[in-house]
Amino acid sequence: MPNSFRFLGFLFMVLFLCAVFLQYNDPDAVTWYLAYGIGAFASLLFGLGRLKLRWAVLLSGFYIVFSIINWPEKFEGVVIGEGNIDAIEKGREALGLLISAGIMGIYALLIGKKKRLD
């Protein structure tokens, strides 16, 4: 895999770790430590060229399902002060999970492409 793609894994590992550290004051912080910690670990594995296609696909699906479960009944955006704070918080969490799903999906596509080229 080209170094630019490996760098992507290390970059997202750092970003996932930042997300982990930002959860310290969240009432359900352990849930988010696990969700984003798993993303950081998967990104590390991708950066090292050790992430398996099936795990990238599985994690992408996991994040999509977790996002659907966390989606607010009424999406009111992500800016505090423009709606119900609980709906905004749930919307932010769900969007973060969708971003995580997208990252894992990109990993899966890149791994799959590499397998076809080998």
With residue 32 as reference, give the H or E element that holds it.
helix 29-47
Percent of the chain residues past pLDDT 90, beyond the cut: 67
* Four-CA torsion 55, 56, 59, 64, nearest 10 degrees: -150
* Apex 82 CA angle, 89 and 31, nearest 5: 5
Q: How many residues does the chain have?
A: 118
Report the candidate in 59, 99, 60 with the shortest Cα–Cα distance to residue 78: 99
Q: Would you say residue 5 has pLDDT above 90?
A: no
pLDDT in tens, 72-114: 888 877 677 777 778 888 888 999 999 999 999 999 999 999 8
pTM for the predicted model, two decimal places: 0.90
What's the rounded mean pLDDT across residues 63-77? 90
- So what's the pLDDT on residue 56? 98
- Distance (Å, rounded) from C-alpha 15 to C-alpha 9? 10
Mean pLDDT of the chain: 91
